[in-house]
Structure 1
Amino acid sequence: MKHPIQILLVGTITLLTGCSTANHVNQIIQPQSKVFKGDDGRYVNQYSGEKTYPLTCTENCYQPRPELQCETDQPAERCKYIGPKPTLALNSGFKVKWLGHASFQVTTDNGQQFLFDPVTAQFDWPVDLAFRLDSGFYRNLPAKLTEQELTHANAIMYSHVHYDHFNKQDIADIGVNTPFYVPLGLGDHFPNDGYQINEMAWYSKQQVGDTTIHSVPAHHFSNRIWVPFLYEDWAKASWNGWVLESKGKKLFFAGDTGYSAHFADIKQQLGDIDICLLPIASYHHPEDANWYRYVHMTPEDALTAAQDLGCKVMIPWGYGNASWKMGDISSHSALVRLLNMKEQMGSTMPILVLNEGDAISL
């Protein structure tokens, strides 16, 4: 006969492990794929090392803009874009809805639905608790997708494992019936509940119905453990951008990234991009501005990247009332700087500025 304590221990272990279901992880590394790792086996950027930048705003970066209706001008806070929309005739078949921060819903003309970095909750615990104490990082919750939209997507793409791009509560809401596409190594961070996970190396591709999903490089980093000097998980998962290609038209989601030659490489591999969803925030921090810009883009970096990619239209993201500031001067400072730098650079490329929750067919 078993001792009561043994019975209790067995019952507890069964309770903790009995409900878990192994995930189905498929690693996709094709002949044309590229994988970059250091000597320690951790992932690295293709263009590592010291960087120079084509242009840096030094004057009149944050002058108030007539296209923005803000509660305060300097810094610009709680703004709404009220300016004109560019005239576009892309006939791409893509409908783009910005959910806030880095989260997008993209629908094709035949009804396929894709989600990029869907994060509608706050940070996962325990980081969530820490950031509640710092209102500069915490955000107003964006409008959530309906249960039908979440659970009936054709594919979910995550760019990397950082808390503001990968949230386990949202994964649970999506459920196990939708396939996930993620960078190499990121599958280890999913809860074991029977998820369908495809880990894709840079320049690998997969067909989902009429749409081809291309995994492309980003210039960033990954870690999940936010404890000083504890880097056990540093760069053990990679970081990706994504391109959706449907009927010859291409939409690019950059994920978090700094500026580097990888943008020109993507164009060389895939050709001009019709719609570019590019980050413009998290480049400024008074204590470590070099590092922030190394792994994120200033607005002028994003404009240069759009030129490198041959973008027919650029949709910026990362700013807004339902976005984390993550070191920016204010929630809308990046958008103000983008509009000013577009003029200073003489850029003729159309920029389509969305307010959070806006959707547009292109």
Structure 2
Amino acid sequence: MKKLALLFSLATLAGCSVSNQVETLIPENAVVKNKTTEGYTDRFKNIYDDFKDYPITCDKDCYPPSPVIECSAEMQNCAFTGSNPTIAINAGFSVQWLGHASFKINTSNGQQFLFDPVSEDFDWPVNWAFSLVSDISRTPNATLTQSELAETDAIMYSHIHYDHFKKDDLSHIGQNSEFLTPLGFADHFPNDGYKITEMAWYSSKQVGEVNVHFVPANHFSSRIMVPFIHEDHDATLWGGWVLEHQGKKLFFAGDTGYSPHFKDIASKYGNMDVCLIPIASYHSEEHPKWYRKVHTTPEDALIAAADLNCKVMIPWGYGNSSWQMGDKTSHSALFRLMHMYKKMNSNIPLHVLNEGESVKL
């Protein structure tokens, strides 16, 4: 009988899920903007929701050939072949671009962080649905081994969109790392023992020796399964991240359009040493104003880098492992960036990566 009771107890324990540990950070100095929309209250909104005074816009001849980008077709399936400038800023960050918005960051003290890790394509069944109605798909990006994943101290997500958060990846990442997310995010995790901290804009959390700050972006959120159903529109917050270690700071913008929030971030945290800023998904013949509102053009990204006083800017969002959502081709955004960098006479050092490449800064 004792043996049967023991077996029953073990089976019961094995069948029970382990509850997630969820912490919510909304300190007094945090910023949360709410709105009422589509009949739902307490939806999040951008700080500068009506901003539209973009300083510079390329309006013609924006994609000239570049001698430092080699492609197999016109601006498609390309590689950056140029030489990046030598940048000796001793910031103590090692940056690996895994593709699209996914980055692995290592600090000089041996800590490791991941931004928006997404492997392969969208979660099922969205990837299946997209395959039926469009050609939006993704070439697999650089992936991390299980041993590399096990070394991760914290994973930061910028927002809930499918190309930035993939539920299927959580089981591969495991429960040993902390997850730092925008407000409203924890409900999208399986209840399986994950340690999640939901954060408001301008809230901070210490992870080892690194202080992690959640900062504003100019974007939106939704994770709908059925088109035109608005129950989850802007129900979770969105934003970017700042890693601060020994006085050095690395900024990850997340998906964002240009607005004065970049100057606000610099005013609050000071100049940024390393800036990871998107340059893609801004192009739309049908909705050009809306696309630019939520995604930076290459010239917007350069203005943002100047607002942040970046010592080096690493662009992302283009590439052979992108979904080409709101882009002419896989590398059109990079062609435009190289053109506008010269036209604007930018003094922000650029370091251009191909997917999978790393740099120590």
TMscore range, shorter length: over 0.9
Kept in 2, the 8 Å contact 1:121–1:167? The answer is: no
Amino acid paired to 2:274:
I
Kept in 1, the 8 Å contact 2:241–2:253? The answer is: yes
SS of residue in 2 equivalent to 1:343? helix
Q: Deviations over 1:225-251 (max 9, x none)?
A: 042221000111000100000111000
Query: What residue in structure 1 maps to residue 63 of structure 2?
Result: 62
SS of residue in 2 equivalent to 1:307? helix
Query: What residue in structure 1 maps to residue 336 of structure 2?
Result: 337
Q: For the structure 1 residues 217 and 134, does the alpha-carbon distance in structure 2 shift closer, same or farther, using more than 3 Å as the test?
A: same
Amino acid paired to 1:36:
K
Q: 1:73-88, aligned counterparts within 5 Å?
A: 73=74, 76-88=75-87
Percent sequence identity over aligned pairs: 57
* Structure 1 residue 195: Cα displacement: 0.6
Q: Hey, what's the Cα distance between the residues in 1 that align with 2:131 and 2:227?
A: 19
Q: Hey, what's the Cα distance between the residues in 2 that align with 1:173 and 1:132?
A: 24
Q: 1:222-241, aligned counterparts within 5 Å?
A: 222-241=221-240
* Structure 1 residue 152: Cα displacement: 2.3
* Structure 1 residue 19: Cα displacement: 4.5
Q: Hey, what's the Cα distance between the residues in 1 that align with 2:142 and 2:262?
A: 31
Q: TM-score, normalised by structure 2?
A: 0.93
Query: What residue in structure 1 maps to residue 96 of structure 2?
Result: 97
Q: 1:202-213, aligned counterparts within 5 Å?
A: 202-213=201-212
Query: What residue in structure 2 maps to residue 8 of structure 1?
Result: none
Q: 1:275-314, aligned counterparts within 5 Å?
A: 275-314=274-313
Q: For the structure 1 residues 134 and 344, does the alpha-carbon distance in structure 2 shift closer, same or farther, using more than 3 Å as the test?
A: farther
Amino acid paired to 1:62:
Y
Alignment of 1:191 with 2:193, yes or no, is: no
SS of residue in 2 equivalent to 1:42? strand
Kept in 1, the 8 Å contact 2:51–2:259? The answer is: no
What stretches of structure 1 of length at least 5 have no aligned partner?
1-13
Query: What residue in structure 2 maps to residue 141 of structure 1?
Result: 140
Q: Deviations over 1:192-241 (max 9, x none)?
A: 11110000111111111111000100110000004222100011100010
Q: Hey, what's the Cα distance between the residues in 1 that align with 2:314 and 2:78?
A: 17
What stretches of structure 2 of length at least 5 have no aligned partner?
1-10
Q: Hey, what's the Cα distance between the residues in 1 that align with 2:149 and 2:120?
A: 13
SS of residue in 2 equivalent to 1:273? coil
Q: Deviations over 1:292-347 (max 9, x none)?
A: 11100100000000011111110000010011100200010000000000011111
Q: Hey, what's the Cα distance between the residues in 1 that align with 2:134 and 2:104?
A: 27
Q: Hey, what's the Cα distance between the residues in 2 that align with 1:160 and 1:180?
A: 13
* Structure 1 residue 143: Cα displacement: 2.1
Kept in 2, the 8 Å contact 1:121–1:170? The answer is: no
Query: What residue in structure 2 maps to residue 252 of structure 1?
Result: 251
Query: What residue in structure 1 maps to residue 3 of structure 2?
Result: none
Q: TM-score, normalised by structure 1?
A: 0.93
Kept in 1, the 8 Å contact 2:120–2:139? The answer is: no
Amino acid paired to 1:153:
T
Alignment of 1:48 with 2:49, yes or no, is: yes
Moved more, 248-257 or 146-155: 146-155
Q: 1:128-167, aligned counterparts within 5 Å?
A: 128-133=127-132, 136-167=135-166
Query: What residue in structure 1 maps to residue 6 of structure 2?
Result: none
Kept in 2, the 8 Å contact 1:300–1:341? The answer is: yes
Runs of 4+ displaced beyond 3 Å: 17-20, 133-136
SS of residue in 1 equivalent to 2:240? strand
Q: Hey, what's the Cα distance between the residues in 2 that align with 1:88 and 1:152?
A: 27
Q: 1:108-147, aligned counterparts within 5 Å?
A: 108-133=107-132, 136-147=135-146
Aligned match for 2:29, one of 32, 36, 43: 32
Kept in 2, the 8 Å contact 1:136–1:324? The answer is: no
For the aligned residue pairs, the C-alpha RMSD in angstroms reads 1.5
Q: Deviations over 1:241-293 (max 9, x none)?
A: 00000111000000000000100000000000000000000001122111111
Query: What residue in structure 1 maps to residue 264 of structure 2?
Result: 265
Amino acid paired to 2:59:
T
Amino acid paired to 1:34:
V
Q: Hey, what's the Cα distance between the residues in 2 that align with 1:18 and 1:86?
A: 56
Q: Deviations over 1:130-160 (max 9, x none)?
A: 2223664201101210101112200000000
SS of residue in 2 equivalent to 1:38? strand
Q: 1:4-43, aligned counterparts within 5 Å?
A: 18-39=15-36, 40-43=41-44
Q: Hey, what's the Cα distance between the residues in 2 that align with 1:361 and 1:36?
A: 37
